[in-house]
Amino acid sequence: MDRYGRIALAIAAIAYSTWLLGPWLVPQMPLVSSYASELAADGVPYADVFRWGDRITGVVLLFAATRASGWFRIPIAIWGGATLLDSFSPMTCSPSIASACVLKNETFPTIQDTLHVVASSTATVASLGAVLAVWYFGPRMTTPWRLVAWAVVIATGVLIVSSILTELGVAHQGLGYFQRSQLATLSLWTLFAALWWPRDFLTSPVSDAPPATPSR
């Protein structure tokens, strides 16, 4: 991946972390039990801040995918596309802070909420696919990068189990922490990819390498 692709990954890592502003912009949102997506829900203060964070993430991830060659670009592109779609189909309300929110009792009450669940779930799976693809078939990872990849896999697994248990009504406490941990590790992995992705691996047809000097 060339330097433009790596810059795009660095921007994605930062833009994907707007949820960190949640405690200051939306202090009434409970961290322990709320989805980070609720920060961008209709009716939530400063929702546009979090929506634009996802939009920027989606666009730059799609761009980063064009700077790589081969099938590795597929999970990155799906992750970016799903994140972009998610930013335009936010939750219609926040069940954690809106007492009349229909999402307290239904998962798919509207087309918009259905699109949100599909897009958000697709982004989660695709991002995990990107991590695993680079891990197993990509460049040799540095030790910190590999440790963060492990953290992403574990955090994503815990998040999926926690989400299923929440939907079944078995438990919901801790869901917010689990999801935010997954987002944090994923952003960190993306930043490490931007810093350490070798220039000679997955280079797009448009390379940033200097032209070769013809031999005499």
27-46: pLDDT as tens digits: 999 988 888 999 999 999 99
Residue 190: what pLDDT?
92
Q: Residue ranges of the domains in the chain?
A: 3-196
Give the Cα separation of 46 and 42 in Å (integer).
Answer: 10
171 pLDDT more than 80: no
DSSP result, 132-175: HHHHHHSSPPPHHHHHHHHHHHHHHHHHHHHHHHHHTTS--TTH
**CB-based contact 2:203 (threshold 8 Å):** yes
pTM: 0.84
Of 79 and 148, the one with more pLDDT: 79
Nearest by Cα to 58 from 84, 89, 87: 84
So what's the pLDDT on residue 213? 43
Confidence grade of residue 214 (pLDDT, cut at 50, 70, 90): very low
* Amino acid letter, residue 57: T
Residue 110, φ and ψ in degrees, nearest 5? -135, 165
Q: Could you give the CA distance from residue 84 to residue 15 in angstroms, rounded to a whole number?
A: 12
Mean pLDDT of 193-213: 54
Q: Please enumerate in sequence order all residues whose Cβ is within 8 A of that of 44, keeping only pairs 6 or more positions apart, or say none.
A: 26, 29, 38, 94, 97
Burial of 163 (0-12, 13-18, 19+ CB in 10 A): middle
**C-beta separation of 53 from 43 below 8 A:** no
The pLDDT assigned to 216 comes to 41
- Return the DSSP state at 70: S
Residues of the chain with pLDDT > 90, as a percent, come to 51
pLDDT at 140: 67
Confidence of residue 18 (pLDDT cuts 50, 70, 90): very high
